[in-house]
Structure 1
Amino acid sequence: MDAKMENQLELVEKSYDKTIEFGKKGINLYNDLPEYITNDPDYPIFQKMIIEGGTSDSDRKEIRDYLSPNTNMKFIDLGCCLNLMFRGYDKWPSTYHGVDISSKTIQLLDEFVTKKQLPIGSLYCGSIHEVPFDTNYFDIGACIGVLEYFEKDFVARAIIEAHRIIKPNGKLVLDIPDIGSPECRIMMIIEEHLGRPDKFDLSFQEFEDMLKNYFEIDKKEKFGPMIQYFLSCKK
């Protein structure tokens, strides 16, 4: 991994660690934004997103409907954040495995799992481009709100790794930023302020060309500042 990629991973890690630490104190950093952001003409779009369901699209009904989790399935949540706690993934019948770069996130999830005595598979602190799971291990997966932080080379490695660990015909939902949309523009400004700048540098066509050797695109949908892809694993 080159130094630029390592530096970006470190920025994302530190930013989410900070978000967790402030969250434990009851402080939501999205509610404490500087005036240059709150006075931005696109800021009301961000406020509308918050009212309509927050800044995360991990808990969309469409994701669960597409992945159709059942008790015989292993599910990998790549860049899991706190989905297990706040996005209903603890209610899924599939066996949950989470990966996140933030050690504070994994620590909090560990505490949550212990307190609730949840029968999950594993929690792993590390980057999604290199995970400690066997080939063809997972039936279903998600990678929501992650790829926007990274440039082409990392995105390619993350897709190859996701393809490796998901079974033939397994399903994956992931998203990328809808660059150029006002929703994405204001989110990128906010994410940079939070210390985790978006670095995504692919057009839709370039991204889909990257996918085609690994996944079949069953459908794609715009949601807020992101485009979600619903994929079947080709092997």
Structure 2
Amino acid sequence: MKEQLNKVLLSYDKSIDLGRKGIDSYSNLPKEIIHNPNYNLFEEMKNENNLSDSGRKEIYEYLSPTTTMKFIDLGCCLNLMFRGYDKWESTYYGVDISPKTIQLLKEYTQIHNISYGSLFSGSMHQTPYEANYFDIGCCIGSLEYFEKDFVKVCIEEFLRIMKPKGKFVLDIPNVGSAEFEITFLIEKSLGREDKFNLSILEFENIICKNFIIDKKENIGPMIQYFLSINK
């Protein structure tokens, strides 16, 4: 799994480097992807800002952040910059495998005088936080890169750092959908191939041991879960 973690790290570091130069990492895709019959679905999702579902108002409404809450964003990418998380009332904590992502976020918070709890560069399966530390949390657009055993370890870590009766939002790929099939090809071309190998039933059997599924929704290539902590 170290190899896969490193591939994801390098791919997102490269995306940050390109972004600093004003280059969209999705702008130079291979011809076989552009000519894929499902490529129009990708373009529609991109035009509708639906490639990442981390900025949905439903997440904010479900987590209901307040000034007394600590919020953990696992696999945070640039949510603080582009998904409105800098406007949330809660105290923000971000974890991302890409050091260049975390560096950019620190620069952003300094320029805009945004306070936060911490920004940590590392894997979401081993975080530096105490048990029962966070009131609310999310993991959006990250679990799809990993196989069953690693996903299970991540879920255990999420549970460890979340407070009893806290709330958490995460997503997994809707494997088999046309939307996921085209995004799978694109992510692979970017050097971060999706490795998720759990069925929906298998995944729900894992999370239902300590999470209550309040609702779930199909969003683009993903299935988004709204969860209450039950420990």
TM-score between both structures, scaled by the size of structure 1: 0.97
Other-structure match for 1:165: 161
Deviation sequence 1:192-234 (CA, Å, 0-9, x none): 0000000000000000000011211111000000000000011
Offset of 1:52 from its aligned partner? 1.1
Correspondence 1:198 to 2:204: no
Any conservation in 2 of the 1:74–1:138 contact (CA below 8 Å)? yes
Paired AA for residue 108 in structure 1: L
Equivalent residue for 2:125, pick from 101, 126, 129: 129
Any conservation in 2 of the 1:160–1:214 contact (CA below 8 Å)? no
Any conservation in 1 of the 2:50–2:220 contact (CA below 8 Å)? no
Structure 2: distance between partners of 1:88 and 1:64: 10
Q: Secondary structure at the match of 1:145?
A: coil
Any conservation in 2 of the 1:134–1:165 contact (CA below 8 Å)? yes
Structure 2: distance between partners of 1:215 and 1:156: 13
Other-structure match for 1:183: 179
Structure 2: distance between partners of 1:112 and 1:29: 20
Other-structure match for 1:214: 210
Paired AA for residue 59 in structure 1: G
Structure 2: distance between partners of 1:36 and 1:25: 26
Structure 2: distance between partners of 1:214 and 1:35: 44
Task: Please show how residues 1-235 of structure 1 align to structure 2 within 5 Å.
Answer: 5-235=1-231
Offset of 1:30 from its aligned partner? 0.9
Any conservation in 1 of the 2:170–2:226 contact (CA below 8 Å)? yes
Offset of 1:54 from its aligned partner? 4.1
Structure 1: distance between partners of 2:180 and 2:30: 18
Deviation sequence 1:147-180 (CA, Å, 0-9, x none): 0000001100000000000000100000000000
Structure 2: distance between partners of 1:54 and 1:177: 14
Moved over 2 A (4+): none
Any conservation in 2 of the 1:95–1:120 contact (CA below 8 Å)? yes
Deviation sequence 1:110-163 (CA, Å, 0-9, x none): 101111111110000000001000100000001000000000011000000000
CA RMSD of aligned residues (A): 0.6
Paired AA for residue 91 in structure 1: K
Paired AA for residue 64 in structure 2: S
Any conservation in 1 of the 2:126–2:157 contact (CA below 8 Å)? yes
Paired AA for residue 41 in structure 1: P
Structure 2: distance between partners of 1:213 and 1:136: 17
Segments of 5+ residues of structure 2 without an aligned counterpart are none
